[in-house]
A and B are shown apart, each in its own frame.
Chain A
Amino acid sequence: MKRQIPLLLVLVFGIFMIFQYFVPHESSEWIYEFFLDWIYIIGIFALALGIWSLIRVSYDKIKYKKPNWQYAVITLAGLFAMILFGFDYGRHFFSAEGLSNYMFRAFFDYILIPIQATMFSLLAFFIASAAYRAFRARSLLATLLLVSALVVMLRFNPYFGPIGPYLEQTASWLLNVPNLAAKRAIIIGIGLGMVATALKVILGIERAYLGKD
């Protein structure tokens, strides 16, 4: 029973959504929109589970003095401070104006944004080290990848003299033609994989996501 109901729910809602796609009528559209809203709302409840997990893991680290437990204190401090500001303890207690709280904004602008942008910018270094890794590889496939990467990377390089324009042309051809072919093949494959997986889920063949009772 515990096992059957979720599988039945998956089957019913899955089939409903497939039918819904072919029914343009307004009522089908409303239900579709409601369902998307519901998923969103359930997601927020789930976020509470997430935050709870974060708090518990950090708390355990501190309690059992696991390695680097001191940093868990910082996580919790940042978390609670930001929640407090978000709910704006004080003037606008419990109103959406918490989001415009001075400290909430400051934490966002001067902690979140700089770290986020810097993490993102690490990509510049990592793409260089990845290119180096590709350079060392000794196989036909790796060489193909490297050569085409080089052609595209150097396409605007002014130091190639007469072969410069050819490089540029080849690069743009690579990006327009084989790229399109390969992407299309991958997309068709992905589409089929998704359809097959979704079908397996709806039919209850794929049930790993439900765990076991």
Chain B
Amino acid sequence: MSRTMIILLALVAIVFAVSWAAKSASLDDQYDDYISRGFLITLAAFLTLSILSFLYKDNPFYKFAEHLFVGVSAAYWMSLGFWSTIVGNLIPRLSVTLSAFFKVPHIEDEYALYILPDKVSYFIPVVLGILLLMRLSKKAGWISSWPLAFIVGTTAGLNLVRYLRSDFIEQVSSTFVPLLVDWQGTGRFFSDFNLYAYGQFVTMLGNWVIFIGVLCGLVYFFFSKEHKGIFGGASRVGIWVLMITFGASFGYTVMGRISLLVGRLTFLFHDWLELIG
């Protein structure tokens, strides 16, 4: 460890200790557990700054926060999954003894399923789950592809019909727009150029752009035809429309992202340092 590193660590430790003491003191009259609260808020601030330090370059503080984050979050999701899915939903349906052990109320067969009794139908995923765990064995590892096949097959079938409907049929049929709006005379037609307004010209222009944009966009996605001639022209218009759109959604997101940073700065300056009210 280099000298500068040691000095830096010592400095950070001092700042941390001072902040802990000061924070605890300021929380003294609000909470009984002010010492641990002071510690936790200081820790949160330290971790926040550690992550932000990544913007400068990779460094031991970032590495620390990152590795801690990975471990804690993995365990968090595991605990949550275990208690809510396994204990919360599976065990009450599986066995009286296990329900009693985990102190959850047992659920009797609530549905009269036509094919399998309830208990059996919940033993199946347990068996599949155990088959999946067989991966850890060298000899019987191949059997773990059965539960995977179940998951992939089920969801493939499910998604096939679902997306065919929502992403294909419904999208295509909503492209059927009237491109000629009821004619109300030239005066009316050219009256309102405000792009917000639903004047005839603007509405029609919008409908045309949508219609042609969708067609050209689809042409861009043709894979088995050379993009040449008219086809190439349409495909080029398609990619232009895509790029304009990407730009617009990029621009649209910027402000939202900046407000996230403001949120963190508020934590540092308000909750931790109490510099702003």
Which of A's residues lie within 8 Å of B, judged by CB?
Answer: 2, 5-7, 9-18, 20-22, 27, 30-31, 34-35, 37-52, 54, 68, 71-72, 74-83, 86-87, 94-96, 98-99, 104, 106-125, 127, 130-131, 134, 141-142, 144-153, 155, 169-192, 194-195, 197-199, 201-202, 209-211, 213
- In the complex, 10 of the A-B residue pairs with CB atoms within 8 angstroms, ordered by the A residue number, are A13-B157, A15-B157, A31-B113, A42-B132, A49-B133, A83-B78, A111-B47, A180-B213, A210-B148, A210-B149
Which of B's residues lie within 8 Å of A, judged by CB?
Answer: 36, 40-41, 43-45, 47-48, 51-52, 54-55, 63-90, 101-104, 111, 113-115, 121-122, 124-126, 128-130, 132-133, 135-136, 142, 145-164, 166-168, 171-172, 174-175, 194-196, 205-206, 209-218, 220-221, 238-255, 257-258, 260-261, 263-264, 267
Complex: A179 Cα to B153 Cα, angstroms: 34
Decide: A34 near B121, CB < 8 A? Known: A83-B79, A98-B79, A112-B69: yes
List the 7 closest A-B pairs by CB distance, nearest first.
A185-B217, A191-B167, A181-B213, A17-B157, A86-B79, A78-B71, A45-B129
Q: Within the complex, which residue of A86, A153, A182 is in contact with B242, where a contact is CB–CB below 8 Å? A: A182
Instruction: Give chain A nearest CB distance to B173 CB in angstroms.
Output: 11
Instruction: Please state if B218 and A152 are interface contacts (CB–CB under 8 Å).
Output: no
Instruction: Give chain A nearest CB distance to B126 CB in angstroms.
Output: 7
Q: Of A44, A106, A122, A169, which is in contact with the most chain B CB atoms at under 10 Å from its CB?
A: A44
Q: How many A-B contacts if CB must be within 8 Å?
A: 416
Which residue of the partner chain B has the closest CB to A52? B136
Instruction: Please state if B113 and A195 are interface contacts (CB–CB under 8 Å).
Output: no
Instruction: Please state if A95 and B102 are interface contacts (CB–CB under 8 Å).
Output: yes
Instruction: Give chain A nearest CB distance to B148 CB in angstroms.
Output: 7
Residues from chain B with Cβ under 8 Å of A9 in the complex: 146, 149-150, 153
Residues from chain B with Cβ under 8 Å of A78 in the complex: 67-72, 75
Q: Within the complex, which residue of B125, B164, B212, B267 is in contact with A42, where a contact is CB–CB below 8 Å? A: B125
Q: Of B82, B90, B122, which is in contact with the most chain A CB atoms at under 10 Å from its CB?
A: B82
Instruction: Please state if B251 and A141 are interface contacts (CB–CB under 8 Å).
Output: no
Instruction: Please state if B71 and A82 are interface contacts (CB–CB under 8 Å).
Output: yes
Complex: A124 Cα to B73 Cα, angstroms: 23
Instruction: Please state if A188 and B167 are interface contacts (CB–CB under 8 Å).
Output: yes
Instruction: Give chain B nearest CB distance to A173 CB in angstroms.
Output: 4
Instruction: Please state if B172 and A172 are interface contacts (CB–CB under 8 Å).
Output: no
Residues from chain B with Cβ under 8 Å of A142 in the complex: 243
Instruction: Give chain A nearest CB distance to B156 CB in angstroms.
Output: 4
Instruction: Please state if A178 and B171 are interface contacts (CB–CB under 8 Å).
Output: no
Instruction: Please state if A10 and B153 are interface contacts (CB–CB under 8 Å).
Output: yes
Q: Of A87, A148, A211, which is in contact with the most chain B CB atoms at under 10 Å from its CB?
A: A148
Which secondary structure dominates chain B's binding surface? helix
Instruction: Give chain A nearest CB distance to B69 CB in angstroms.
Output: 5
Given contacts A78-B67, A191-B163, 6 further A-B contacts (CB under 8 A): A38-B150, A39-B150, A74-B68, A80-B71, A122-B52, A151-B248
Q: Within the complex, which residue of B65, B129, B153, B241 is in contact with A12, where a contact is CB–CB below 8 Å? A: B153
Decide: A44 near B71, CB < 8 A? Known: A141-B240, A194-B160: no
Complex: A120 Cα to B73 Cα, angstroms: 15
Complex: A194 Cα to B166 Cα, angstroms: 12
Complex: A44 Cα to B255 Cα, angstroms: 38
Instruction: Give chain B nearest CB distance to A52 CB in angstroms.
Output: 7
Instruction: Give chain A nearest CB distance to B3 CB in angstroms.
Output: 19
Instruction: Please state if B218 and A189 are interface contacts (CB–CB under 8 Å).
Output: yes
Complex: A113 Cα to B160 Cα, angstroms: 37
Which residue of the partner chain A has the closest CB to B65? A115
Decide: A188 near B251, CB < 8 A? Known: A18-B157, A27-B115, A42-B129: no
Residues from chain A with Cβ under 8 Å of B175 in the complex: 184
Instruction: Please state if A117 and B153 are interface contacts (CB–CB under 8 Å).
Output: no
Instruction: Give chain A nearest CB distance to B41 CB in angstroms.
Output: 7
Complex: A74 Cα to B125 Cα, angstroms: 34
Complex: A191 Cα to B167 Cα, angstroms: 5
Residues from chain A with Cβ under 8 Å of B212 in the complex: 181
Complex: A7 Cα to B69 Cα, angstroms: 39
Which residue of the partner chain B has the closest CB to A168? B196
Complex: A40 Cα to B212 Cα, angstroms: 43
Instruction: Please state if B69 and A96 are interface contacts (CB–CB under 8 Å).
Output: no
